[in-house]
Amino acid sequence: MSFEEFSSGPALTPAQQALARRRIRKFLQRTEPGFGEPIIALRDETNGSIPMHIHWESADEQDWRIVGVDKPHLDKRILDSVIVECRVLFSETEDCYLPGIVKALQTLSPDRAIALRPLKQHVAQLVRNGHLAIQADKTASMYSGRLESDNGMGQGRLLGSDQIAMDYIYGMALHEDEDRRARLENVSSQETIFQAVILTLNDLLHIAANVREQVLHDIDVGHISIEQNN
């Protein structure tokens, strides 16, 4: 629903407003502290990113080589459980679907629809059209060292963590998509796949936290009310 529809269309019914309030209440409940663990616990405390530590060595202080990389690790069972927990944020059928929460804010405060456009765009970086997605001009958090064309994508750019994560989430964790599974077989290691998923879920959780902060701010300053009797 666009701003023009908010401003010039028919007034929202009490039922529509009640639905928007219910979705926001449910979103706040689902995203309380602890949501998204243990990925949040992996974050670097200085900037909220998922750190990797590269170890170099040299015998003569000139010819350096990488001897190891410390990466975050979660086993498959735990990672899959976090994917299932976070699914409510990117599945269009869920009340906590992030674009739907932004729309609910606009529903309850239509005069602020334009002001909320940056939040809508922020969410659309990763969640749109009913699922997790890749933004063409977005730089991935990590690259695998292979080309997308090597994995059946048909493009001559490096395969990014976002594409790897989408293939795992939709090809294995949530569905059995044979095309996506085939691309995953061409990724260098399972460790690389899991790391890509961790990075993508971390991005998703950052976006969800920002939406939650906006919701709480709007409630605090009186832009919206989510009480059931309103």
What confidence tens digit (pLDDT) does each residue in 43-73 have?
866 677 776 666 667 667 777 776 556 667 7
Per-residue pLDDT averaged across 146-155, rounded? 61
Per-residue pLDDT averaged across 93-99, rounded? 96
Residue 16's contacts (CB-CB under 8 Å, 6 or more residues apart) are 107
pTM for the full predicted model: 0.83
- Does residue 80 surpass a pLDDT of 80? yes
> Strand runs (DSSP E) across the chain, as ranges?
53-57, 65-70, 127-128, 131-132, 143-147, 158-160
d(CA 152, CA 167): 12
Sign of the Cα pseudo-torsion (209, 36, 83, 22, in order): negative
- Does residue 7 surpass a pLDDT of 50? no
Where are the alpha helices (H) located in 9-94, listed in sequence order? 14-30, 76-90
Residue 56: phi and psi, rounded to 5, are: -115, 155
Token readout for 64 is 């350096």
**Nearest to 140, CA basis, from 152, 119, 125:** 125
Q: Specify the range with the lowest mean pLDDT, choosing from 1-15, 95-109, 131-145.
A: 1-15
d(CA 68, CA 39): 22
